[in-house]
Amino acid sequence: MKITVDEDKCCGAGSCVLTAPDVFDQRDEDGIVVLLEARPHRERHDAVREAATVCPAAAIHVGEEA
Protein backbone atom coordinates (compact mmCIF):
# COMPACT_ATOMS: atom_id res chain seq x y z
CA MET A 1 0.00 0.00 0.00
CA LYS A 2 1.25 3.48 -0.91
CA ILE A 3 -0.57 6.56 0.47
CA THR A 4 -0.50 10.02 -1.04
CA VAL A 5 -2.20 13.11 0.37
CA ASP A 6 -3.22 16.29 -1.43
CA GLU A 7 -2.44 19.20 0.88
CA ASP A 8 -4.22 21.69 -1.37
CA LYS A 9 -7.49 19.77 -1.17
CA CYS A 10 -7.23 18.90 2.54
CA CYS A 11 -9.67 20.93 4.62
CA GLY A 12 -8.09 20.04 7.95
CA ALA A 13 -11.02 18.03 9.20
CA GLY A 14 -8.88 15.58 11.13
CA SER A 15 -11.10 12.60 10.36
CA CYS A 16 -7.98 10.75 9.24
CA VAL A 17 -6.28 11.43 12.59
CA LEU A 18 -9.27 10.00 14.43
CA THR A 19 -9.40 6.94 12.19
CA ALA A 20 -5.71 6.06 11.77
CA PRO A 21 -3.69 8.06 14.33
CA ASP A 22 -0.48 6.12 13.66
CA VAL A 23 -0.51 7.09 10.02
CA PHE A 24 -1.92 10.65 9.93
CA ASP A 25 -1.36 13.78 11.97
CA GLN A 26 -2.21 17.46 11.52
CA ARG A 27 0.08 20.49 11.32
CA ASP A 28 -0.35 22.67 14.39
CA GLU A 29 -0.51 25.93 12.50
CA ASP A 30 -3.35 25.15 10.09
CA GLY A 31 -4.57 21.61 10.73
CA ILE A 32 -3.48 20.35 7.31
CA VAL A 33 -2.72 16.63 7.09
CA VAL A 34 0.76 15.28 7.83
CA LEU A 35 1.49 11.82 6.50
CA LEU A 36 3.49 9.95 9.13
CA GLU A 37 3.89 6.76 7.14
CA ALA A 38 3.43 6.51 3.38
CA ARG A 39 3.71 2.68 3.42
CA PRO A 40 2.07 1.56 6.64
CA HIS A 41 2.16 -1.95 8.00
CA ARG A 42 -0.48 -4.39 6.81
CA GLU A 43 -2.35 -4.30 10.12
CA ARG A 44 -3.16 -0.63 9.52
CA HIS A 45 -4.45 -1.04 5.98
CA ASP A 46 -8.11 -1.29 6.93
CA ALA A 47 -7.95 1.86 9.05
CA VAL A 48 -6.17 3.71 6.24
CA ARG A 49 -8.78 2.70 3.67
CA GLU A 50 -11.47 3.85 6.05
CA ALA A 51 -9.68 7.17 6.56
CA ALA A 52 -9.58 7.66 2.78
CA THR A 53 -13.32 6.96 2.57
CA VAL A 54 -14.36 9.29 5.39
CA CYS A 55 -12.02 12.15 4.42
CA PRO A 56 -14.53 14.90 3.57
CA ALA A 57 -12.20 16.53 1.08
CA ALA A 58 -11.24 13.35 -0.83
CA ALA A 59 -7.64 14.34 -0.13
CA ILE A 60 -6.26 10.87 0.67
CA HIS A 61 -5.33 8.50 -2.14
CA VAL A 62 -4.48 4.88 -1.49
CA GLY A 63 -2.51 3.08 -4.18
CA GLU A 64 -2.45 -0.69 -3.97
CA GLU A 65 1.04 -1.35 -5.35
CA ALA A 66 3.28 -3.35 -3.02
Q: Which residues bind ligand SF4 (CB under 6 A)?
A: 5, 10-16, 24, 26, 33, 55-57, 59-60
Closer residue to another protein (CB): 35 or 57? 57
Per-residue HEC secondary structure of the chain comes to CEEEECCCCCCCCCHHHHHCCCCEEECCCCCCEEECCCCCCHHHHHHHHHHHHHCCCCCEEEECCC
Contact between 56 and another protein by CB under 8 A: the answer reads: yes
Among 2, 3, 20, 32, binds another protein (CB under 8 A): 32
Tell me the chain's radius of gyration from C-alpha atoms.
11
Minimum CB distance to another protein, residue 44 (Å): 18
The least distance separating another protein from the CB of residue 30, rounded to whole angstroms, comes to 4
